[in-house]
Amino acid sequence: MFRIILGVFFVLHGLVHLLYLGQSQRVFELQPGMVWPDGSWLFAQFWDDGMVRGVTAVALIIAAVGFVISGIGLFWQQSWWRPILMGTAVFSSVLYLLLWDGGWQNLDDKGGVGVLINVALVTAVLLFRWPNITH
Q: What is the DSSP string of 53-96?
A: HHHHHHHHHHHHHHHHHHHHHHHTT-TTHHHHHHHHHHHHHHHH
Q: Which residue has the higher pLDDT, 63 or 111?
A: 63
Residue 94 lies in a domain: yes
Residue 111 lies in a domain: yes
Give residue 33's domain range.
Answer: 2-128
| Percent of the chain with pLDDT strictly greater than 70 | 96
Closest to 135 (Cα-Cα) out of 73, 91, 92: 73
User: What's the full length of the chain, in residues?
Assistant: 135
Q: Considering its fold, how many domains does the chain have in total?
A: 1
Position 128 confidence tier, pLDDT thresholds 50, 70, 90 = confident
Residue 87 has pLDDT above 80, yes or no: yes
What span, in angstroms and rounded, lies between the C-alpha atoms of 66 and 60?
10
The pLDDT of residue 117 is 96
Q: What does each C-alpha distance from 108 to 20, 34, 121 come to in angstroms?
A: 11, 11, 18
What span, in angstroms and rounded, lies between the C-alpha atoms of 21 and 53?
9
Residue 49 lies in a domain: yes
Residue 133 lies in a domain: no
Residue 49 has pLDDT above 60, yes or no: yes
The pLDDT of residue 16 is 96
Q: For residue 112, how many other CB atoms are within 10 A of its CB?
A: 15
What mean pLDDT is reported for the chain? Answer: 91
